[in-house]
Chain A
Amino acid sequence: MSFRVRFLPEDRSTVSEGAVDLFLAAAQCDIWTEQPCGARTACGKCRVRVVSGDAPATRADERLLTDAERADGWRLGCQLTLDSDATVTIPPQTRSTAAKSFGDDAVFGDGIAPSFGSMAGGAARNAGNAYGIAVDIGSTSLAAALVRLDTGHVAGITSRVNPQVRFGADVISRIHFAQERADGNAQLHTSVVSAISEMIADLTGDAVDARQVVAVACAGNATMTHAAVGADITPLGQAPYRGTFTREVERAAREFGWPIHPEGVALFLPMVGHHIGGDTVGAILATGMDRAADWQLLIDLGTNTEVVLGSARGLYATSTAAGPAFEGANIEHGMRAAPGAIDRVRVLRSGRLVVGTVANQPARGLCGSGLIDAVAELHTAGVIAESGYMRSRAECEAAGVHPVLCERVIETPGGPGEARVVRRVRLDRDVTLTAQDVRQLQLVKGSIAAGIALVLEHAGVRADALDAIHIAGTFGSFVRKESVQGIGLVPAIDPERVHFVGNAAGVGARMVLVDARMRERARRIAAECAYLELAGHPGYEDAFMAAIPLGERL
């Protein structure tokens, strides 16, 4: 028996023949949703509201939602399966957002030695200028740029949510999906390859004919690259976590059904290894650190945070499992950087605490940059001790914290299995930072800072000798330098030398697409970069413990 699922506020519907997971039904309506904790029923952030229809509360709903919320139709999206007519509202904070960049023209400062412009047959040239497409295959979002191959100029950009999110929110849950299902690898491959086809179609048609496009260059992490190429991703989820290849892959674009010139090529940036993929190789290329005279550090912030130390003298990389706290999971009022997320926090000299929100909407949660800002500011103001301990109001008063700020420190009774009292700092009317949130941030920043410390130690480089720190990742564009240094996430070198580079992987893909010398550099980076494994590293536990306290350090 077929039934209809309707989504609000778009008012789009899909008809299903049998029981369907909410996320799949939403995806069929081109509505993309998040599962920050990977559907482990740990975070409670994927909530949706069932306006009409039959959706009995699950045990996870009972655990993570209040009685009033459940009565009002709220359910955890990751647990919701529908088998009859229903209308569901997907709130903004449960939706995926995609934003990527491909850099400016300055990356081709010393002219261009074409990679593909001359090779893909006269047909392209006869039809006009030759173009290529640079693709950033992120695990959450995809982005593509149409690039003129003679100038490197970006003629158009498009992006969309990586449709693989319907099979799992993060890389690990997609590998899990591929392990569980015989056709798992095939589904992951087909979905991403078709999404890239759609993006190519978006970018061509009017001004640029599809036959003028002679190459597609893709940068992605090891799992994304394996899936896009059509390789088995399951070995990447089990120790020793090795994939089936790391080298640059070049194929005929028609193998993937991509609508470009019939002789066009598809190129996938090479990888250092399973933890350091083509996206990081692209980012290294974009920063130019592989040619720098002095040592530089690249930190690509995310659920897995890659750390690369490099100069013309060598490249050393590691990967740290930072977890999804920056995306809002495990943080009581945590959320993505969507409208209404507190993304800036300042404590003024008057003791007043002021917040800024995304799109200046009323505050309804705390995103990664707001979390870092809040902890850094409250640490400086004396509310949070160096150990990460959140002082009580009386202790704040005794420690000389401004009386106006002390008023914001409150305590509420803890639930079963929780602390006896939950201590909080009120950031806005409905948004608080809890003592436990500070601990979650300490775990994340401890694992990243420990990775940085061990890579520096491995290469015999002192933190104060760093000439530059590049912070990549979408999240990296919004956070304040003073705060990332203030909590000790990155070494406290001169803030002038800390740069936010955004999604540098796309820039790298574009460079490889346009310039043969860059392509050669990418190969050399992948071949020469050394990888430092942290799991089982004898110094890791001490480095992690040393990196958990707050405060600036070099």
Chain B
Amino acid sequence: MTDLAELAQHLIDGHDADVARLTRDALDEGRAPAAILEQGLIAGMQVVGERFRDNIIFVPEVLVAARAMKAGLAHLEPVLAACGIEPIGTYVIGTVKGDIHDIGKNLVGMMLKGAGFRVIDLGVNTPLAKFQAAIEEHRPDIVGMSALLTTTMGQMKVNIESFRAAGLFDRLRVMVGGAAVSEDYAESIGAHAYGADAPSSVAKARSLLAELKAARA
């Protein structure tokens, strides 16, 4: 029987072919898709996040791990959907209008997927209307916005004010991040959380989600 801990270890080591193979094997053996996701892929990404935080691994290792996770998810996602297993939450992410930097945002997106979120990535230079349309269409729990420049971070404030005016904060939370942004700035524009780097963004997304679910219950 496939060892899910081994699957997690291959993910941590960034072996995408092994992750794909073991995911497939586990599915063929009839293992519960939710167990493969949680004990294999999510458990692996959890370790990756902790190692990143502790400076043991860095961006390239996180990226190869994320790519390995993607290789596993490719097999797992159709099955999860077929079984009616829902992602833990939906996250809309994008770099704001005027800004075209995206490596950090991509990393956050990948790690969120690794944590079990459904992630809708709107790309770079995203106008407010595109965020609004994605919120309408995908009904996200969290919207994440990134800005790398102090000249473009003002757009995050504009967006947040528009979300607030539209009454969206009854059902969603907003996170901001990017090189230009600080904890103080995030708070000053009314964001619900600030993501300093990819792993801490995932941790904050999890706690915002828990908070939202508690509020809905």
Contact = CB atoms under 8 A, between A and B. Distances in A.
A442 B59 CA distance: 10
A388 B58 contact: yes
B217 interface: no
A176 B150 contact: yes
B149 interface: yes
A535 B101 contact: yes
B109 to A, nearest CB: 13
A321 B103 CA distance: 12
B98 A541 contact: no
Contacts of B148: 321
Interface string A318-331: 00010100000000
Contacts of A389: 55-58
A214 B132 CA distance: 58
A41 B55 contact: no
Interface stretch (B73-81, B85-93, B176-184): B176-184
Given A419-B53, A541-B103, A173 B150 contact: yes
Interface stretch (A260-268, A279-287, A543-551): A543-551
A419 B150 contact: no
Interface residues of B, number: 35
Interface string A529-554: 00000011000110011101100000
A237 B99 CA distance: 9
Given A172-B151, A237-B149, A417 B196 contact: yes
B61 to A, nearest CB: 7
B200 interface: yes
A239 B58 contact: no
A323 B60 contact: no
Best-surrounded residue of A173, A535, A541 (most CB of chain B within 10 A): A535
A38 interface: yes
A535 B63 CA distance: 18
A446 B103 CA distance: 12
Contacts of A387: 57-58, 60-61
Contacts of B29: none
Interface string A442-477: 110010000000000000000000000000000000
A544 B151 contact: no
A40 B53 contact: no
Nearest to B200: A417
A545 B63 contact: yes
B124 interface: yes
Given A175-B151, A239-B125, A439 B58 contact: yes
A417 B199 CA distance: 10
A361 B101 CA distance: 41
A549 B57 CA distance: 11
Nearest to A447: B103
A501 interface: no
A174 to B, nearest CB: 10
A544 B58 contact: no
Given A420-B54, A548-B58, A548-B59, A237 B106 contact: no
Contacts of A443: 59
Given A41-B182, A239-B99, A420-B54, A545 B151 contact: no
A175 B153 CA distance: 12
Contact of B182 (A42, A446, A549): A42
A546 B59 CA distance: 11
State which size class the interface on A falls in: 35 or more
A548 B106 CA distance: 17
B185 interface: yes
Interface string B38-71: 0000000000000001111111110100000000
A376 B150 CA distance: 32
B189 to A, nearest CB: 13
Given A41-B184, A179-B151, A442 B100 contact: no
Interface string A388-415: 1110000000000000000000000000
Contact of A419 (B55, B102, B125, B151): B55
Interface in B91-124: 97-103, 106, 124
Nearest to A390: B55
A173 B181 CA distance: 13
A423 B58 CA distance: 15
B150 A544 contact: no
A33 B86 CA distance: 54
B55 A237 contact: no
B98 A238 contact: yes
A239 B126 CA distance: 11
B2 interface: no
Contacts of B180: 40, 172
Q: Which of A38, A63, A439 has the most CB of B within 10 A?
A: A439
A541 B59 contact: no
| Leading 5 A-B pairs by shortest Cβ distance | A237-B151, A435-B55, A238-B98, A419-B54, A545-B60
23 contacts: A38-B150, A40-B180, A40-B181, A40-B185, A172-B150, A175-B151, A176-B151, A176-B154, A237-B152, A239-B97, A239-B98, A239-B99, A239-B100, A387-B58, A387-B61, A419-B54, A419-B55, A442-B59, A536-B100, A536-B124, A544-B103, A546-B60, A548-B60
Interface of A: 38, 40-42, 59-60, 63, 172-173, 175-176, 179, 234, 237-239, 321, 323, 387-390, 417-421, 423, 435-436, 438-439, 442-443, 446, 535-536, 540-541, 544-546, 548-549
Given A40-B150, A419-B54, A536-B124, 18 more contacts: A40-B180, A63-B183, A172-B149, A172-B150, A238-B98, A387-B57, A388-B58, A389-B55, A389-B58, A417-B200, A419-B53, A436-B55, A535-B100, A535-B102, A536-B100, A536-B102, A545-B63, A549-B60
